[in-house]
A and B are shown apart, each in its own frame.
Chain A
Amino acid sequence: MNVRLRPGHAALLAGLALLLAAGCDRVSRTLNLTGTVAAVPPQPIGPARLRVRLPATGAQATLAPVARNGGVTVWQTLDGITLSFRDGVLIATRGLGDDLMSADVDGTLAMLRGSDRATQYPHIRSYLDGEDRTVFRSFQCRREAGPDRQITERCVSTDVGMTNIYWLDGAGEITRSRQWVSPAIDYMETERLPRE
């Protein structure tokens, strides 16, 4: 039998796999395979507003409070991203992608309230890994030297570190902050907007 060898096809398998992998996002978008869950518009429960910026992407949005539960306020963007803060300290994000699932910030809150400056305190947070399993990350934090109204917190884990900054008003409330979210999102800057 006369068989022609077509070397082009030899590489095609790999090429196809590659193309599929690299191009699927675009393909599925045009085919409307995605976006099955629409963002629910926020139903604000108060007049306060929070301006948030992600310096890594330049993305920014204004958020309104949509729920308050046991000292935690959930803020939401118009397009369905929520950020949860306990007394101004970030404890969860949803809708960002590499979301912070939960965080124990009791140590940070105690530090902000002015407990002993020299002590280290633990900080634990959780994420989802690529297989939907909960992964906990444990940090050790301490307050860095600095002014009382601009408090810098340095936290280290085995292979990552974060430096969060909180700006306080006279009543000790956080008015501005720079807080680390996750490896892919990096830092988030928040600012309380004056009430209108």
Chain B
Amino acid sequence: MREQLRARNTYTLFVALCAAPSAFADDAPRIETGYNSYGYPGLIDMPVAKSRPDGELAVTVSSFAGQTRNTLTFQGLPRLSGSFRYSVLDNATGGERSALYDRSFSLHYRFADETAWHPALAVGLNDFLGTGIYSSEYLVATKTLGPSLRVTGGIGWGRLGGAGGFTNPLGVLDDRFKRRPERDAGQGGDVEAAQFFRDDAALFGGIEWQATDRLKFTMEYSSDDHPREDPSAFEQESQLNFGVTYGLGPMTQLSLRYLYGSELGAQLSTALNPKSPPNHAGRDPAPPPVLGRGAPTVAALGWIDGVVERDALRRDLVRALAAQGIGLHGLSLAGGTARIEIENDTYHQEAQAVGRTARVLSRHLPAHVDTFDITLVDAGLAVSQVSLRRDDMETLEHDLDGAWKSFARARVSSPEGPAPPAPGRYPGFDWSVLPYLSPSFFDPDDPLRADAGAQLDVSFQPMPGFEVSGILRQKVVGTLDDATRRSDSVLPRVRSDFALYDREGETALTQLTGAHYFKPGRDLYGRVTVGYLERMFGGVSSELLWTRNDSPFALGAEVNYVKQRDFDGGFGFRDYEVATGHVSAYWDMGNGFHAQVDAGRYLAEDWGATVSLDREFGNGWRIGAFATLTDVPFDTFGEGSFDKGIRITVPIRWLTGEPSKTAYTTTIRPIQRDGGARLDVPERLYNRVRPRQKPALQNGWGRFWR
């Protein structure tokens, strides 16, 4: 039964491009809001005052007149989307090369919804950082006129105020709005707020007609005057654009356009929504049923008083838990209470590991045990203890609201420390060989390079809280060593020599560390790590984290002394040494949003702070952005002015539907320089501890009975 169902699910995966429509979809809007050539919600080149569904992550590739825009857009809030764009402009003026490579950001905010009486309204900023070739702002209104017809009109500034422009109406407020100051682009990267909504404005508009479910026709009057492209790349004969869009799949659209009276353009956009896994809530094998104490069962062992019985019981539990992908760390029985410590390496939601453990306990423990104290342990750190009544397991297993009732009846607390480990747990040894993929973006010589190879992970735990681990990478194929650009950084080259590491480190020991984890207090967690911490640095790292089990705030401090490693990924070091460290504040803002501030000294001896904001989905997807400002002047930093980027974490479990904690994370920076570079310490404490704390348990408790 299972095998056949799996085959079907794989098929679904391929057809739907990983995008399963939500199980109980509401009626979709008749007119599909598309992505424009800049990759944000729009017509052809112009915006619309609509948004895509919350959470959607889209890739748009649009090309015309020798210009290709690749845009990644995330609908981070129902009303707000952010885009990151990498464009290649052939024959554009202003670039010192034959092709211009440009990275830009956009924000699109819908501030009013459409009603019967007024249109939807949105405002947007394009390319507000950096060199600003797409620099523009707009205010746009969209009104639906029937089941298949929609009109849009708006006013644009900057590039969108170029064609048919008139004196800025905002000039009545202040004369400053009449002039758009020249961008002091410098190294790029400044927020050019002084330019917003300045200079001439122009009107734009368009009509969308959804002819069938899959086919849409669009016509627009564009106010984009293409200052860099006309006439070097193409002749702009008209401001009218015509487009047709065909839905290749539920989340994939192909568009063809006739643009500016002279050019043909094509666009492909595809999207997925982390909220809708292709395999629904996952294909985990069924958990063992709860066994009621009244039931006639082979597992009822009777009273346990002898050492022999205890050992037999422990061995049974180890076996039964291992079958569920859960490790037994410690076990003690006292009176009516069984205290058990588990290590979950399998389930994304710790609550699911707790639920399965409790089911196993109900099948194996003697009838007089009426309380299960299940402690979640990681690297010897006992993070949370969940206390469950056995009666509740028996009565709520088939209850309609069993998940919430069982959480409400459970007690979650923070234990002082772990109990003595079960015999046989230590020493522990683990290894795995997995593939790795290491991409590199935006080198003008070749904007996308990657290496792929095999990675050997080894871990050895001699006793609770101690871990020796190593990662050895062997490149198999890849183009990273094609990079010929060398760092021109005037700062200590703590990161910008990455191409040398790629070239010389085909076989690289990316990590070899000894770490000690400990709990100095009930809400305190500590870590000391010594060794080759990351690919580029080795040394000593120590961290202390304060986090209460029920508080959205946490504080941490980290102090490191490190030395730069040789390029070849071996055991040698270079001359550069630095003391670096940060004080960190963490805030779980609710609804999956997480903010973090890290202030301190970075690798190039610069002082400053990093602000990051992430949206974490319940299934483990994480999409966020960060920016670091330090005392390095923008001119000294070099291109980009300061360190910033976006990061995306994709849980493997989301793709496969099988229980797994493995996730793939990638960080995309417009450019990697040396300022604001933070040490990449393996296994920082916050992300180890937080998934096992009460708020995370509560959010994942739906899987308790899964």
Contacts and interface: CB of A to CB of B under 8 A. Distances in A.
Do the two chains bind?
Answer: yes
Main secondary structure of the interface of B (DSSP, over half): loop
Interface string A10-24: 111110111001101
Contact size range, A: 35 or more
A13 B61 contact: yes
B26 A69 contact: no
Interface string A94-107: 11111101111000
A129 interface: yes
A3 interface: yes
Interface in A97-124: 97-99, 101-104, 124
A146 interface: no
Contact of A28 (B23, B282, B652): B652
Nearest to B288: A40
A77 B2 CA distance: 9
A195 interface: no
A54 interface: yes
B279 interface: yes
Interface in A107-155: 124-135, 137
A82 B286 CA distance: 6
Among A95, A130, A159, A184, the most chain B Cβ lie within 10 Å of the Cβ of A130
Contact of A128 (B1, B68, B657, B706): B706
A67 interface: yes
B702 A133 contact: yes
B2 A34 contact: no
A137 B400 CA distance: 11
B394 interface: yes
B283 interface: yes
Nearest to B349: A132
Contacts, number: 259
Contacts of B324: 37
Given A3-B97, A70-B395, A96-B5, A128 B617 contact: no
B280 A37 contact: no
A10 B1 contact: no
A9 B448 contact: yes
B445 interface: yes
Given A13-B70, A36-B659, A95-B283, A67 B295 contact: yes
A171 interface: no
B673 interface: no
A57 B8 CA distance: 7
A85 B10 CA distance: 29
A92 interface: yes
A128 B233 CA distance: 52
Nearest to B485: A1
Contact of B14 (A22, A57, A129): A22
A128 B281 contact: yes
A57 B2 contact: no
Interface string A24-63: 1110110101111111100101000000101001111100
Given A131-B617, A159-B26, A37 B659 contact: yes
A7 interface: yes
A91 B300 CA distance: 27
Interface residues of B, number: 96
Nearest to A28: B656
Contacts of A169: none
Contact of B656 (A33, A86, A92, A126): A33
A10 B4 contact: no
Nearest to B14: A22
Contact of B281 (A33, A86, A130, A160): A130
Interface stretch (B401-409, B460-468, B677-685): B401-409
A61 B17 contact: no
B323 A40 contact: yes
A76 interface: yes
Nearest to A69: B292
A7 B68 contact: yes
A5 B619 contact: no
A12 B70 CA distance: 10
B289 A11 contact: no
Contact of A130 (B275, B285, B399): B275
Given A11-B61, A81-B286, A82-B286, A127 B325 contact: no
B699 interface: yes
A157 B25 CA distance: 12
Given A40-B323, A80-B285, A159-B26, A99 B400 contact: no
Contacts of A38: 285, 323
A99 B657 CA distance: 12
A154 B699 CA distance: 34
A168 interface: no
Contacts of A76: 286, 289
Contacts of A67: 289-292, 295
Across the A-B interface, give the 5 residue pairs with the lowest CB-CB distance, nearest first.
Answer: A131-B618, A67-B289, A94-B286, A61-B1, A128-B281
Given A7-B63, A26-B10, 11 more contacts: A16-B448, A25-B14, A28-B655, A37-B323, A38-B323, A59-B5, A97-B279, A98-B23, A103-B400, A126-B403, A182-B23
15 contacts: A5-B99, A11-B70, A12-B448, A13-B70, A14-B270, A21-B655, A39-B286, A40-B323, A45-B297, A79-B1, A94-B284, A99-B281, A130-B277, A137-B24, A159-B27
